[in-house]
Structure 1
C-alpha cells in the first residue's frame, strides 16, 4: 500500500523503517512522468533565466561589436554584426528545440550563415537584393578565413574589399552560436553556480579583446565602451549569484533590497573609477596602445623591387621621347610623384623595408576605396585625375600630392585588392603592376607650400627615419661650408639648396651634353660630385646630395622621384614623357607638412677650360669609401639594375617573427594538452595494471569494481558517498539515463527518465559479483575475476558512449583518486570479512 511504512529487522536486531516498493508519483513539473515533445522540454528547461542570460550576453556582444568602427567604413558593419548575432542565436535555439547533436548544430549554423549572410555582409553581390550569388558565397568564405589578415594590412578605415563586412558578421555569428548553446543547453543541465554562469562571459570578452587587437591607435569611445561592458557584466553576475536561493521569503526580500543597493553602488563606482582612473592613469597619445597591425609585416615588400631612383637615367636616355602616361586634370606647376625614398645604404637611396622601419617608406598596406589621411599634411587643393598608361610599366602608381581614393577601370576584384598604400610617404603601388592600356581615376590633395617668412619660426618635425650608412666625409664638410651664418632651420636648408642650384651644372650624361656625367648616387659618386672642379650631374645626384646634407645637419629629409611635365594646359590632357623625369628633396616642418626643395641647377653650359681631364673614363681607384662586398658595377651604366643577389635573398629568407610567434601560440596549447593526456593515460594504465595484478583473487575483483567506479567518476557521473555497491550501481544507471535523455534534447530539467533495465541489471550484477568476491569467505576464482573485469569494461564503454564529446575529453584529462581509498578499504575488509555486520551491510 502506497505510503504505508513497514518495519524490518536489521542483522543486528535494530528495527528500521522503509517505504513500500511502490513509488509515489511526484506532482512537480520536474518530476518523473511521460515523455513530452521538444517544445515542452524547451519551455521547462530553457526557462526565463536562460533567456535573460542570453539577452545580457547579447548586449555585451553588441558593445564589443562597436570595436570594429575604427577599421571599417560606415555604420553598415553594425547591421552585419546584428544579423550575424541573430543567425547564431537562432541556430542555437533550433538546436535546443530539436535536441540536435553537435555535428548537426554546426551544419545548421553553417547553412544559415551562407543563406542569410549575403544581404547582411555583401549586399552588393546579392541577387534581387537578398538572394546569395556565387560571388557573395565566395566572399563570405574568404572573408571569414582571410579577412582577418587583410584588415590588419588595410589603411583604416577600409571600405574594400567588399568581403571585409564578413568579419563582424562571422564574429557575432560564432559568438552568438556559442553563447546560445551554452545558455540554452549546457547551463541548465546542472546546478547553476556562479563559476558555471561566468562561463557565458568568455565569448563577449574574447570578441571585445579581438576588436581591440585588430583596431587602431585611436579607438572609438574606449572609456565609455569599457565602462559599459564591465558594469553590465558585474551587475549581471551579482544578480545571478545563487547565494540565498533557498532562503525564506522574508530573507529573500532582504537579499533583493541588498542587491538593489549593491547594484547601484557597483554602477556608481564603475563610472567613477573609469572616469577618474582613466583620466589619471590612462595612456597618453604619445604612448599609444598595442594593436596587432603595428607589428604585422605587410604582404608587399618594396625591397624585392629595384630602387626607382636607380633607374633614373633609363628615362632620360632610353625613354626621353616616349609617352609614359597621359594625365587629365593637371594644372600648371603640378608634379607627378612616383616613389619616395628615405633609406641611404651607401650605394643608393631606396625604400626602407619593414625590417628597418615598420612605419617608414616601405610599410605598405592594403586599402579599399578610401585612403587614410597622411599624418603630417596640410591640404591646399584637390585634384581629380584620369590617368591612361602608355609606355610606363612598374608597380609604382603615378599620382599628385596625397591620394584619397583610386578606381582601377576595368579591373577585376583580384587586381583591385592588390593596391597598397603608404600613408607616411603618400605612395601607392599596384602589386600586379601597371602596363600599357591600364587606366585609373585618382583623387588627391596637394600640399601647402608656405613662404620662407612663414617658416622662419617653425622647426622641422620630429620624424623617425632610418639611419644613414657610408656617407662620405665631404658631405658634412660641404654642408658646413654652404650653410655659413644661417641660423634658422629654413635658412640653413635654403642655403644648401641655393648653393647646389647656383654652383652646379646640369648634365644627363647624353651625347648632346657638353660634358658627360656619370650615373648613380652611391658614396663614390656623391664624393666625386663635390671633389671635381665642377659639380656636374642631374636631379639624381643633386637631390641625393642635398638630402644627405640635410640629414647631416640633423633634420629629417627624403628623396622623391617623379615627373615635372612642362606642357601642362589646364583643362586638357597632358602627355608625360620620359624626359620629364625629375627628383627633389622634402623636409617636414612641424604642423605644416613635407615641404619640397629643388637643388638641381638649370645651367647646362659647362666651362670647358675648367675641366682638366675628360670624364668619359672615370678612374675606379679614386672612389671612396671602398665598395661593399657586392660590387655595384651597374653604377657605371645608365641604369642601376642591382638591388640584391637573388641567391643571397633566398638563403637569407626567414619567416616573419609574428608568423613564428602566432604558430607557437596556436600549437603550444595543443602540445600541452597532448602531453597532459599522455601523462593521464600512463597513470590510468599503471592504475589498471596494479589492480589486475593484485596478489589475491578478491582484491583483483574489488579492483574491477573500483575501475568501474573511477571510470564513471572521470566521465562526470556523481559517486554517491557511503553507499553499498548495489546502491551505487542504481545511481549510475539513473545518471546514465538522464545523460542519454539530455543528449536527445530533453535536458536535465525535464521529467527524470527511468533507468534502462539492461544497464541497471548489468551494473547490479557486477555489484553482486564484487560483493560475493569480498564477503564469500574464500578466494575468488580467476574465471570469476575475468568475467568481472570484462563486464566492467563493457559497462564503462557504454557509459562513455552515453555522454557528449566534451565529457569524454575531460575524462581523458583527469584521474579519479577515490578508487585508491576504496581499494585500501576493500583490502582491509577482506582481512575482516568474517565479521557478520559486514555481511549484512555489504560496504566496501
Structure 2
C-alpha cells in the first residue's frame, strides 16, 4: 500500500480540497499497483513505529482509507464530504450498539521521515486524534486526510481507538442495515460476471444468516478453497480480474479482499474494502515495527448493532478475527494409552497349576504347557538361578518396550511441555517457549520439518499452509506464535492463557489433514524423536572434547630416543 514515493494510494489530486473551511471533498484511486510494489520490495523498510496499550497486538491493523465504490474496473474511495477534525471524542461509529463490548486503547504512532502519506494510518474505529498540521476528517470512513499538501512525513501522533469485541451471537442476530447503507454498499456493476454471485451462493449454501455467510466466505478463501497467496500475479482488479482470480485461485490481499467484498455484496451484505497495514512485528523495546511488506487490504462488512466489521480472507496474512472462530472448538488429539501392567505381554502374577504336571516335567525345557513362567521356577539347586530368570524376563520386556520407546518418549515430553505448572508471570517465557517447541515438534511428527531460520510468525504461516489447517486450527497456531513474539520482545513478558488448548487444536487439525499411515507414524514413530539422537550425539561430542583436553600431550625432545 505505501509506495516508495510516500503514497499508499495514487491520489488524483493533492489531498483534501475546499480551502480551510469546514467543507470540501476528497477522492482517490486504486491502490493495487503501489500495494503490490511494496509487498515485493527487496528491503522491508520500516514505515511506522507504534506504541500501544492494546493487549494483543496481533489484531493491531492500521487503516488508511476505505474503498467503497466498485465500478467494474476497480474498487476505489467514493467522493466524500470532509469536515474539520472533531475536537475531543469522535462520534460513535455508525451502527455500533451500546451492548457491544468495547475498550478504548491509546496508541502513539511515529511515521518514518521518508514516508509522506496523505491519509493518516490509524486503528479503526478511532475515537480521537492528537496531531499537528492541517488535517481534515471524513465522517463515513472515519479517516483523516491531509489538507493543502499535508502528509505524514516524520510525524508523531496519538490515536484513541475502540477495540470492539462483538460476539458471534450478536453478529448472527444483527438486524437489517439502514436503507442508505444497503443502497450504497451493495451496488455491483453490470459487468460483473455471473460466476461471482453463483460461486458466492455455492460457498455459503446452508448458512443461516448473513454473518454465517460472511464466515463461510472468509474460511473458503483463507483455508478450504485451495487459494494461494502470490504477490507476483497480474490478474487485475476489475470484474474480469475477479472472475479470473476465482478460476486461477492465485493472488494477494487486493484480490482476496476485492473478491470477498464483491461476493458479499452479491448476497446483499453491505461491504467495502479497507486499505492499510496488517499487524507489524513486536520489538524488544515494546514497540511494534510496521514495514512496507505489512501493506494490506481486507474487507469490512456491515452488521447492524456492531457496525463495520473486519474479516480476513487472505491466507497467512494478518489475524483471523476471534468473532469468526467457533466458541466450542473441535476435539483434540486423542491420547495414546500407555501399555497396561496387566496386559498380555506381562507375565501373569498368579501361576496356574495342573495336577498332571509332575516335578520332573517342570524341570524339563519348556515346563508344562499350561503353566506361566513363574510356575516353572526351580525349587531346588537344579535349573537356572532366579536372577538368571529375572534377567531373561527383563530382557524380554526390554525387547517388547524398545519399539514403543519413541512413542513413550513423545508422550512424556508432551506431558512435561504442556503440564499445568509454570503458568505465572515468572514462568511466562519458559512455558510459552515449551508450548511452541511442542507445536513445532507436533507439526514435524505429521511431516512438516521445522525451519529454525524463520521467525515464529513465518513458521506459523508455514505450518498452516503445509498442514492445510482449517480456520480453528490455523488461528490456534497463530495465537501460539504471537505469544512467543510477545514473551521474546515485550519489556515485561506476560503469560497467555489457553496455549495448551491451542496446541491440541492445532494437532487435531494436522491429524485431520493426513492419511491413516501418517497418523499412525506420528503416534508410534514420531519424527521429532530424532532430537534424542541429536542430544546424545552432542553429549558424546562434549565428553570426547573434555577427555581430549584432559589427556596429557607427550612431546619428545629433539634428538631424544624413546
TM-score between both structures, scaled by the size of structure 2 = 0.48
- Kindly indicate which of the two structures has a greater share of residues assigned to helix: 1
Considering only CA atoms, is the larger Rg found in Structure 1 or Structure 2? 1
TM-score between both structures, scaled by the size of structure 1 = 0.32
